[in-house]
């Protein structure tokens, strides 16, 4: 494949997919160790009613109101989960399950009752995203990367997910110690003055931001998969949190790149005419990596490593 073909058609979806995968996998590492991995699932489901409500309120399909709606919905969901957990005195997983199914169902009902199908806002789109359509039309080859007018035409999703990724990386780096200490030993963390509640809340908010930005670009299947699969696979590769984070980045990027390429070209190689969903393939690859790590990873159980 030449640059003239690759740059406009494949470069931007690959970058967006990779950035989205890493942005979700980073907070996923801590959520997994805190046994809150399901929160990514919860957030990506409740994004739907948030987007629908934002559309109903503003009447336009525009990224910012929808992302704000999604962010508001995920904050509402986080609050609801905490309220149900405390008032109902049930475990967090159950509270999450109740919250996200109820809110997702409400989103589907809202979507049905409103005429949004014409504006490319449907359940399928919400689930799979449209990674394949995030192409860079004005690019003509690698040299376009130096061409200001062509660069202005980059899909806006790329800029948003790039900023989100930077924010997630900065958060993880700056709050590394509070995150690590309060995840391992919350009681000790509180006793030495680490603001554990604030740290936990900030982690969930950052996860929500990553989920919403990634959802906007790639749909909820990738979001859900990337919160859990790369960190879980990474945990089985090492017994050091620092290395686990790096492995999760490697696995997230690998899933995004291999998944995207396989979705586009894999079916052709086996004689089929149609490409398959890139989001579905990326999530599948991340699941395969997890399965391989579970079978062959050196640190599958702490006692054996």
Partner 1 sequence: MLLSLATQEGIIAAEHIPADSPLALRGMTVSYGEKPAVFSVDMTIQEGAMTAIIGPNGAGKSTLLKAALGVVKPLAGHVTVFGQSLKSQRHRIAYVPQRASVDWDFPTRVLDVVLMGLYRELGLLRRVRRAHVEKAMSSLDRVGMTDFADRQIGQLSGGQQQRVFLARALAQSADLYLLDEPFAGVDAATEKAIISVLKSIKDEGKTVVSVHHDLATVRDYFDHVFLINTRKVAEGTVGEAFTEVNLHKAYGGRLATAQMDQLNLAAI
Q: Which residues bind partner 1 (CB under 8 A)?
A: 33, 174-178, 180-181, 183-185, 187-188, 190-194, 235, 238-241, 243-244, 299, 302-303, 305
In three-state form (DSSP H/G/I as H, E/B as E, the rest C), the secondary structure along 95-115 is HHHHHHHHHHHHHHHHHHHCC
Q: Which CB sits closer to partner 1, 189 or 213?
A: 189
**Selection from 168, 153, 220, 142 nearest residue 19 by Cα:** 168
Q: Which CB sits closer to partner 1, 143 or 177?
A: 177
Q: How many CA atoms lie within 13 A of 156 on its CB side?
A: 6
Question: From CA 51, how far away is CA 121, in angstroms rounded?
Answer: 9
Q: Which CB sits closer to partner 1, 99 or 196?
A: 196
Q: Which CB sits closer to partner 1, 26 or 279?
A: 26
- Minimum distance, C-beta of residue 41 to partner 1, in the bound complex (Å): 21
Question: From CA 28, how far away is CA 34, in angstroms rounded?
Answer: 10
- Minimum distance, C-beta of residue 2 to partner 1, in the bound complex (Å): 44
Question: From CA 229, how far away is CA 284, in angstroms rounded?
Answer: 10
- Minimum distance, C-beta of residue 37 to partner 1, in the bound complex (Å): 14
- Minimum distance, C-beta of residue 49 to partner 1, in the bound complex (Å): 34
Q: What phi, psi does 239 have (nearest 5°)?
A: -110, 20
- Minimum distance, C-beta of residue 297 to partner 1, in the bound complex (Å): 12
Question: From CA 9, how far away is CA 132, in angstroms rounded?
Answer: 8
Question: From CA 273, how far away is CA 109, in angstroms rounded?
Answer: 35
Q: Which CB sits closer to partner 1, 105 or 198?
A: 198
Question: From CA 11, how far away is CA 23, in angstroms rounded?
Answer: 18
Q: Which CB sits closer to partner 1, 104 or 171?
A: 171
**Selection from 142, 170, 172, 132 nearest residue 16 by Cα:** 132
- Minimum distance, C-beta of residue 58 to partner 1, in the bound complex (Å): 39
């Amino acid at each position: 494949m030449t640059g003239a073909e690759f740059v406009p058609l494949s470069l931007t979806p690959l970058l967006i997919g990779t950035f989205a995968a890493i942005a979700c996998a980073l907070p996923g590492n801590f959520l997994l160790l805190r046994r809150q991995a399901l929160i990514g699932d919860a957030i990506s489901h409740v994004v739907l009613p948030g987007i629908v409500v934002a559309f109903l309120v503003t009447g336009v399909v525009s990224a910012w109101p929808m992302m704000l709606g999604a962010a508001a919905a995920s904050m509402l969901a986080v609050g609801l989960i905490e309220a149900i957990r405390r008032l109902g005195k049930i475990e967090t997983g159950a509270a999450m399950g109740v919250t996200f199914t109820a809110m997702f169902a409400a989103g589907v009902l809202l979507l049905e009752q409103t005429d949004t199908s014409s504006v490319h806002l449907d359940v399928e789109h919400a689930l799979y995203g449209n990674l394949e359509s995030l192409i860079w039309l004005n690019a003509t080859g690698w040299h376009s990367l130096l061409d200001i007018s062509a660069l202005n035409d980059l899909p806006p999703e790329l800029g948003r997910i790039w900023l989100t990724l930077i924010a997630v990386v900065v958060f993880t780096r700056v709050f590394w110690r509070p995150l690590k200490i309060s995840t391992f030993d919350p009681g000790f963390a509180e006793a030495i003055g680490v603001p554990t509640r604030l740290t936990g809340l900030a982690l969930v908010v950052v996860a929500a931001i990553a989920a919403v930005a990634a959802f906007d670009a790639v749909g909820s299947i990738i979001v859900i998969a990337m919160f859990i699969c790369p960190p879980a696979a990474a945990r089985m590769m090492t017994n050091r949190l620092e290395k686990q984070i790096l492995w999760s980045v490697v696995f997230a990027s690998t899933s995004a790149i291999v998944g995207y390429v396989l979705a586009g070209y894999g079916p052709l190689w086996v004689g089929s005419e149609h490409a398959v969903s890139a989001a579905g393939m990326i999530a599948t690859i991340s699941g395969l990596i997890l399965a391989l790590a579970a079978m062959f990873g050196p640190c599958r159980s702490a006692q054996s490593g």
